[in-house]
Amino acid sequence: MFESYQGITFGLAFIMAISVLNPTQFQLAPITMKKLFFTIATVLFAFQSLDAADKPNVLFIAVDDLRPELGCYGNLIVKTPNIDRIAARGIVFNKAYCQQAVCSPSRTAIMTGLRPDVTKVWDLNTHFRVAQPDCVTLPQHFKANGYHCAAINKIYHKGFEDGRSWSVPHWYSAGKSIDTDLIDHTKQIVTKHDVSVEEFMSPNAKTNKDAKPGPAFEVSRKSEVDLPDGAAAAEAIKRLSELKSKKEPFFLAVGFAKPHLPFVAPKKYWDLYDPNSIPVPTIDHLPGGSPTFAGHTNGELHNYPGVPKENPLPMEFAKTLRHGYYACVSYTDAQIGKVLDALDKEGLADNTVIVLWGDHGWQLGDHGLWHKHTNFELATRAPLLISVPKSKTAGMKCDAPVEFVDVYPTLAEVCGLPPAATKIDGTSLKNFLDDPTAPATDVAISQYPRRDTVTGTDLMGYSIRDSRWRAIFWRDRNGPNIIATELYDEQNDPTETVSVANKPEHKALMESFAKHLPPVGSAAVDTNALKAKKAKAADAKPAPSAVGTEDRAARFDRFDKEKKGKLNRTDYLATQSDATAASERFEKWDTNKDGYLSRDEFVTTGKK
């Protein structure tokens, strides 16, 4: 169809051009010539409209912190009938991996098709347009090719919106829409609307930037539409009704927050589960042979009031958290179902590509860890479902390792768009959509930054995953030195209980994986900028007092807002301007290595 339209269009355009450039060949009466031009213009416009209408729409569904605990991934306990509907319409990628297991780097990667070392987004503080001001994002590419592009709730990490990506301002259920200046991405343009909802029933006032407005979980008495994800679904339904009548195809991105902490869901979703039936981790400590910096101290979770400070968490509390996670998964699944119903009702389903992705996995106490922030399988592996209308392979699964950077070129290809206007790192997965059983052609690479507090070295951990193995190389960010390695046999040790990197029989395997490492210096730390930051912080410090011990005691009391007599790492870092230097101090002052600074440690050890 595209070819016939293009041929007719070219022919008409040719006639129009010749009639203008060589009018003696077209001795037509003026009125006839006018009619000819009018007819040609009308036909060209009609064919352009037909061509646009023939392009498929895209429904792009993002789910925060969703690990592959879904029916279509083989979990027999969780109830996700609506996500399973998408799976029945499309392909389930069993081994899909994010580029970095934390929100902003992962979302930036899927939206730009670029790896974190290219965007320089390794944290929650950096906008991708700082390092890549001219990159063309996934929705921006669709917009340039005639699509109406819109976003609802969290697509990019909140606070890092991108006006160039969307046809209309980015809508949030917190009562505002956000656009950004097309030249200066730091300039936000905020407009208010009348949908403003809050997830907690009785939110607390925030006392500092890290304070949470409520507990880590809540059985909500609110109606679904009065919660953020319910409001997002309602807005998506409204948009689909409006988009149906538009002449151009659409790219509608809808973000769902749950099952991100806090685990807040209406009671009926909690009631779906017997908490005793939800699986518990097989290992509650770091794998044997892994470096201590491979894990973390669960700081994000410990910031919520009422969460026990010890690690691992008490068994009953951990059971409730897992219950809450499952309830939130089913709550979000129900909201997705409402959007799918609207897609069907509006008659759009037969011409809409659906993509569902979780921005990364999540650890539910596995390895003694909660949330993401690691290179382990459960943190880096996330759901990826792609449904293409009238697919002959619908309902099948693909076991080849794939990456989030692959989504951009895949959507461009299946929607008939030209290649991206700027270079991207991903590879189209269309061959797997056509034949999900096709053999794997590449590895999946994830990464996570860490600091080796023993040597003071900034590291980047690169995780390289093929169909069986996961190899992790912890490399100096400013040089070639590999500080530590890990290797997990995902076939025979799927819960990653022990690293076998140091076994002699795996030497050649590790060498083969090392060939996939990016060039040395790809994740380099700007040491000059870091030194300047430390110097600035040092200059801002007051001169030492003769009564230093008394001053440190008073300072500890000021930091210890809950008056517990100790500070965890997260609490302490929240009070410091230089997180890197503060982390080093914490390790040094925590003399008994219990993960806390007591008042005595802070006053006495910190004085030295």
- Residue 154 · residue 148 · CB < 8 Å: no
CA dist list (Å): 270 to 203, 273, 316: 20, 6, 16
Q: Give pLDDT, residue 573.
A: 66
Q: Give pLDDT, residue 138.
A: 98
Burial class from Cβ neighbours inside 10 Å (0-12, 13-18, 19+) for residue 384 reads buried
Considering the domain architecture, whether residues 21 and 151 belong to the same structural domain is answered as no
User: For residues 286 and 377, what is the distance between their CA atoms, to the nearest angstrom?
Assistant: 13
Q: Element (H or E) spanning 32, and its range?
A: helix 30-54
- Residue 115 · residue 420 · CB < 8 Å: no
Q: What is the pTM of this model?
A: 0.81
Burial class from Cβ neighbours inside 10 Å (0-12, 13-18, 19+) for residue 347 reads exposed
The pLDDT-based confidence of 550 (bands split at 50, 70, 90) is very low
Q: Is the pLDDT of residue 348 over 90?
A: yes
Among 393, 419, 434, where does a domain finish? 434
Mean pLDDT, range 88-93, rounded to an integer: 98
Mean pLDDT, range 82-90, rounded to an integer: 98
Considering the domain architecture, whether residues 26 and 124 belong to the same structural domain is answered as no
462 belongs to a structural domain: no
Q: Give pLDDT, residue 442.
A: 94
The pLDDT-based confidence of 49 (bands split at 50, 70, 90) is very low
3-state secondary structure 162-222: CHHHCCCCEEECEEEEEEECCCCCCCEEEEEEEEECCCCCCCCCCCCCCCCCCCCEEEECC
CA dist list (Å): 506 to 47, 489, 499, 502, 517: 60, 11, 11, 7, 17
User: For residues 297 and 311, what is the distance between their CA atoms, to the nearest angstrom?
Assistant: 8
525 belongs to a structural domain: no
DSSP 277: G
Q: Is the pLDDT of residue 23 over 80?
A: no
142 belongs to a structural domain: yes
Q: Give pLDDT, residue 594.
A: 66
Q: Is the pLDDT of residue 253 over 80?
A: yes
DSSP 192: E
- Residue 205 · residue 222 · CB < 8 Å: no
Per-residue pLDDT tens over the stretch 503-547: 999 999 999 999 999 999 999 987 665 555 455 545 544 444 433
Q: Is the pLDDT of residue 261 over 80?
A: yes
Among 383, 404, 434, where does a domain finish? 434
Considering the domain architecture, whether residues 22 and 95 belong to the same structural domain is answered as no
* pLDDT averaged over every residue in the chain: 88
Considering the domain architecture, whether residues 122 and 108 belong to the same structural domain is answered as yes
**The domain spanning residue 597 has which CATH number?**
1.10.238.10
Residue ranges with strand state E in 401-489: 402-403, 444-452, 457-465, 469-476, 482-489
137 belongs to a structural domain: yes
The pairing of beta strand 57-63 with beta strand 250-256? parallel
Q: Give pLDDT, residue 337.
A: 98
The pLDDT-based confidence of 53 (bands split at 50, 70, 90) is low
185 belongs to a structural domain: yes
Q: Residues of the chain with pLDDT > 90: what percent? A: 74
User: For residues 431 and 193, what is the distance between their CA atoms, to the nearest angstrom?
Assistant: 43
Considering the domain architecture, whether residues 417 and 553 belong to the same structural domain is answered as no
CA dist list (Å): 519 to 100, 166, 523: 18, 34, 9
Q: Residues of the chain with pLDDT > 70: what percent? A: 84
Per-residue pLDDT tens over the stretch 174-231: 999 999 999 999 999 999 999 999 999 988 876 666 678 899 999 999 999 999 999 9
483 belongs to a structural domain: no
Per-residue pLDDT tens over the stretch 381-429: 999 999 999 999 999 999 999 999 999 999 999 999 999 889 999 999 9
Full domain range(s) for residue 40: 2-52
Q: Which residue, 240, 213, 251, is CA-closest to 62? A: 251
Q: Give pLDDT, residue 399.
A: 98
Catalytic residues: 103, 157
DSSP 250: E
Considering the domain architecture, whether residues 243 and 392 belong to the same structural domain is answered as yes
Q: Which residue, 471, 514, 512, is CA-closest to 490? A: 471
> What total number of domains does the chain contain?
3
381 belongs to a structural domain: yes
Neighbours of 497 (CB within 10 A): 16
Q: Give pLDDT, residue 51.
A: 54
**3-state SS assignment for residue 586:** helix
Q: Give pLDDT, residue 568.
A: 77
Q: Is the pLDDT of residue 272 over 70?
A: yes
DSSP 520: T
**The domain spanning residue 150 has which CATH number?**
3.40.720.10
Q: Give pLDDT, residue 548.
A: 39
CA dist list (Å): 514 to 283, 409, 472: 28, 26, 9
DSSP 595: S
Per-residue pLDDT tens over the stretch 98-140: 999 999 999 999 999 999 999 999 999 999 999 999 999 999 9
CA-derived radius of gyration, the chain = 27
Q: Give pLDDT, residue 9.
A: 40
What are the residue ranges of helices labelled H in 346-416?
377-380, 407-414
Mean pLDDT, range 26-38, rounded to an integer: 44
Considering the domain architecture, whether residues 348 and 379 belong to the same structural domain is answered as yes
Considering the domain architecture, whether residues 181 and 259 belong to the same structural domain is answered as yes
Considering the domain architecture, whether residues 139 and 30 belong to the same structural domain is answered as no
Considering the domain architecture, whether residues 429 and 555 belong to the same structural domain is answered as no
Among 434, 449, 470, where does a domain finish? 434
Higher pLDDT, residue 546 or 585: 585
Considering the domain architecture, whether residues 122 and 147 belong to the same structural domain is answered as yes
319 belongs to a structural domain: yes
Considering the domain architecture, whether residues 48 and 143 belong to the same structural domain is answered as no
Residue 452 pairs with which residues in a beta bridge? 457
